[in-house]
């Protein structure tokens, strides 16, 4: 049975969709919130499993720079709902936050579930009606929204409708990118989805892979060169995977590394294994006579390199190069790792690509589809982990809801 309603539909129960529903309900609008999964915020909960990183405490100018090529488009959204406002909003839900040693902002309990429960409770108090297990499949001939449900297909008549369907990573949690052909078929300009905040493949030797997969590589500086020749450097740690490298330090450089792979078929990630020790000191230390000690003992005692860091050197250098103090010292300060591919998109934390910003009007409405708006990660932007993704998703959902309200006001 078709369900007809003049209520506003929000499709997608992630942070962008929840934020849009909250703004609409606060404005007195009736809201129906649809999600394909059995419950709301599945990816949000998974992202917070190790500690929900809500936002970042750094000044706004460097914060906005994290959006890279899309800074001009994303910055107005974040300025309208900046990190401090996000923390105040969380406090209004009863969620106290704190700034960690890295500048990242977390809930005091470090968990996503309490925040999500409070958020959904507020929405229901404001009259938002949720519809779980409703997978959006496009429009019928009359322009009604179509949904697959456990009870069969149903339709819903709504103008406006806000799409907040996520990107193409973690399909098992609902973000499968299935909306791409539905919008492209209606004339909406989209960019292909690509992995972002992702791992990269390296052709490890069998010995290295079997012995060191899962090992963290701590306190290093990683660098690469973007396709526009911009040098990039980040300090932190990463994890050796069976197929290559992953972790926060790698994710911070993933956009540039992906672009280099797309253009050249390979990318070089360079590691400084001893970022606090000058190159001259490293050369002097490795050149020191080692006597009867093994090279492994010498490296550990003179420069503090052992375990996975020593194994990385052996993986990249020949035996002769390892025995040459000059080559060894240079590798310790600038060890090149050849990346051959990104890991599959479904393993990525987020995606780049999606609905192009020039497909939207000033209210975030799709130009070919009057009354249909887009928000969140399904738009063509990306950002590193560290709170930047979640901040922009929530800010985008709020901005899109305000755009829908402006559109409705002009029609009345």
Q: What is the pLDDT of residue 240?
A: 97
Question: What domains are there in the chain, each with its CATH number?
Answer: 8-195+351-410 (3.50.50.60), 200-342 (no CATH)
Q: What is the pLDDT of residue 6?
A: 59
Query: What are 142's two structure tokens?
Result: 């009359």
Q: What is the 3-state secondary structure (H, E, C) of the chain?
A: CCEECCCEEEECCCHHHHHHHHHHHHCCCCEEEECCCCCCCHHHHHHCCCCCCCEECCCHHHHHHCCHHHHHHHHHHHHHCCHHHHHHHHHHCCCCEEECCCCEEEECCCCCHHHHHHHHHHHHHCCCEEECCCEEEEECCCCCEEEEECCEEEEEECCCEEECCCCCCCHHHCCCCCHHHHHHCCCCCEEEEEEECCCEECCCCHHHHHHHCCCEEEEEEEEEECCCCCEEEEEEEEEECCCEEECHHHHHCHHHHHHHHHHHCCEEEEEECCCCCCHHHHHHHHHCCCCCCCHHHHHHHHHCCCHHHHHHHHHHCCHHHHHCHHHHHHHHHCEEEEECEECCHHHCCEEEEEECHHHECCCCEECCCCCEEECHHHECCCCCCCCHHHHHHHHHHHHHHHHHHHHHHHHC
Q: What is the pLDDT of residue 209?
A: 96
Q: How do the pLDDT tens digits run along the chain, 412 residues long?
A: 334 345 899 999 999 999 999 999 999 999 999 999 999 999 899 887 778 999 999 999 999 999 999 999 999 999 999 999 999 999 999 999 999 988 999 999 999 999 999 999 999 999 999 999 999 999 999 999 999 999 999 999 888 999 999 999 888 888 899 999 999 999 999 999 999 999 999 999 999 999 999 999 999 999 999 999 999 999 999 999 999 999 999 999 999 999 999 999 999 999 999 999 999 999 999 998 888 888 899 899 889 999 999 999 999 999 999 999 999 999 999 999 999 999 999 999 999 999 999 999 999 999 999 999 999 999 999 999 899 999 999 999 999 999 999 999 988 6
Question: How many of the other CB atoms lie within 10 Å of CB of 37?
Answer: 18
Query: What are 412's two structure tokens?
Result: 């009345």
Q: What is the pLDDT of residue 175?
A: 87
Q: What is the pLDDT of residue 49?
A: 77
Q: What is the pLDDT of residue 5?
A: 45
Q: What is the pLDDT of residue 186?
A: 96
Tell me whether strands 129-131 and 31-34 are parallel, antiparallel or unpaired: parallel
Contacts of 319 (CB under 8 A, 6+ apart): none
* Distance in angstroms (rounded) separating the CA atoms of residues 27 and 405: 8
The Cα diameter of the chain in Å comes to 88
Q: Under a CB-based contact definition with an 8 Å cutoff, are residues 342 and 328 in contact?
A: no
Q: Under a CB-based contact definition with an 8 Å cutoff, are residues 31 and 183 in contact?
A: no
Q: What is the pLDDT of residue 276?
A: 96
* Half-sphere exposure of residue 321: CA atoms within 13 angstroms, side-chain side: 13
**pTM score > 0.85 for this model?**
yes
State the first-to-last Cα distance of the chain, in angstroms, to the nearest integer: 29
């Amino acid at each position: 049975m078709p369900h007809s309603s003049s209520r506003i539909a929000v499709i997608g129960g992630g942070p962008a969709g929840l934020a849009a529903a909250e703004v609409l309900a606060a404005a007195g609008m009736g809201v129906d919130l649809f999600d394909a999964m059995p419950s709301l915020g599945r990816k949000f909960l998974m992202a917070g499993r190790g500690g929900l990183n809500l936002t970042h405490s750094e000044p706004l100018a460097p914060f906005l720079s994290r959006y890279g090529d899309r800074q001009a488009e994303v910055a107005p959204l974040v300025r309208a709902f900046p990190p401090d406002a996000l923390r105040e909003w969380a406090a209004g839900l009863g969620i106290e936050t704190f700034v960690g040693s890295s500048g990242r902002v977390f809930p005091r309990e470090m968990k996503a579930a309490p925040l999500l429960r409070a958020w959904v409770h507020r929405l229901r108090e404001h009259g938002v009606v949720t519809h779980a297990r409703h997978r959006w499949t496009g429009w019928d001939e009359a322009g009604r929204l179509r949904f697959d449900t456990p009870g069969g297909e149903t339709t819903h008549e709504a103008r406006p409708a806000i799409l907040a369907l996520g990107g193409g990573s973690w399909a098992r949690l609902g973000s499968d990118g299935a909306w791409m052909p539905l919008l492209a078929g209606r004339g909406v300009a989209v960019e292909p989805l690509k992995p972002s905040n992702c791992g990269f493949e390296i052709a490890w030797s069998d010995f290295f892979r079997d012995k060191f997969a899962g090992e963290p590589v701590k306190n290093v500086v990683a660098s690469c060169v973007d396709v526009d020749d911009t040098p990039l450097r980040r300090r932190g740690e990463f994890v050796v995977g069976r197929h290559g490298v992953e972790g926060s330090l790698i994710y911070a450089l993933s956009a540039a590394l992906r672009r280099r792979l797309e253009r050249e078929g390979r990318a070089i990630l360079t590691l400084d294994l001893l970022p606090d020790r000058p190159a001259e000191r490293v050369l002097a230390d490795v050149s020191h006579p080692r006597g009867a000690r093994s090279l492994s003992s010498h490296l550990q005692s003179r420069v503090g390199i052992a375990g996975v860091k020593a194994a990385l050197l052996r993986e990249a250098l020949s035996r002769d190069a390892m025995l040459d103090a000059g080559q060894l010292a240079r590798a310790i300060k600038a060890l090149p790792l050849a990346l051959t591919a990104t890991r599959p998109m479904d393993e990525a934390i987020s995606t780049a690509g999606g609905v192009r910003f020039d497909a939207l009007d000033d209210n975030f409405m799709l130009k070919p589809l009057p009354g249909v708006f887009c928000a969140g990660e399904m738009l063509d932007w990306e950002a590193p982990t560290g709170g930047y993704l979640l901040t922009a998703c929530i800010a985008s959902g709020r901005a899109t809801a305000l755009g829908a309200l402006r559109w409705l006001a002009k029609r009345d």
